[in-house]
Structure 1
């Protein structure tokens, strides 16, 4: 399973944008992610990557770029 590709596919579906060349853009500052999209993102990651990422423990600063999301999912896979 390629976590990077899964994250990019989920974000592409949620935002309607190809973010593969914008891996360090702040997704919240650019308006690409909002609170509703964040919940959808976490649910999709839980389902597709088999990780637990509770909304109650969500820290926006740790999830605000594609690269940070990939790193967070990889760290959750290793727990």
Structure 2
């Protein structure tokens, strides 16, 4: 799951920096915007079969690759 998520982030953000620094702030560094968030959630649902509604996740919960991974692990454990 982690590898697939990083591939998704690389594609959406257009950089492998998301793989090299799991604590990079995707919003502060301009790698992810609101449109990118929707693309991210759709890709997660398509490739990882984890459905996340845009209203159920906060920007802070998905601010870094590590936070997204932790969120998905917790969500999958539900």
Report if TM-score (shorter chain) is over 0.5.
Answer: yes
1:74, CA displacement in angstroms? 1.1
Q: Which residue of 2 aligns with 1:31?
A: 30
* Structure 2 counterparts to residues 11-30 of structure 1, below 5 A: 11-18=9-16, 19-30=18-29
Kindly report structure 1 stretches of 4+ aligned residues shifted beyond 6 Å.
Answer: none
Q: Which residue of 2 aligns with 1:69?
A: 68
CA distance in 2: counterparts of 1:35 and 1:11, whole angstroms: 14
Question: Normalised by the size of structure 2, how large is the TM-score?
Answer: 0.93
1:47, CA displacement in angstroms? 1.3
Does the CA-based 8 Å contact 2:10-2:19 persist in structure 1?
no
Listed as ranges, the gaps of 5+ residues in structure 2 are: none
The number of aligned residues is 77
Give the aligned CA root-mean-square deviation in angstroms: 0.8
Identify which range, 62-71 or 50-59, moves more after superposition: 50-59
CA distance in 1: counterparts of 2:71 and 2:46, whole angstroms: 15
Q: Which residue of 1 aligns with 2:56?
A: 57
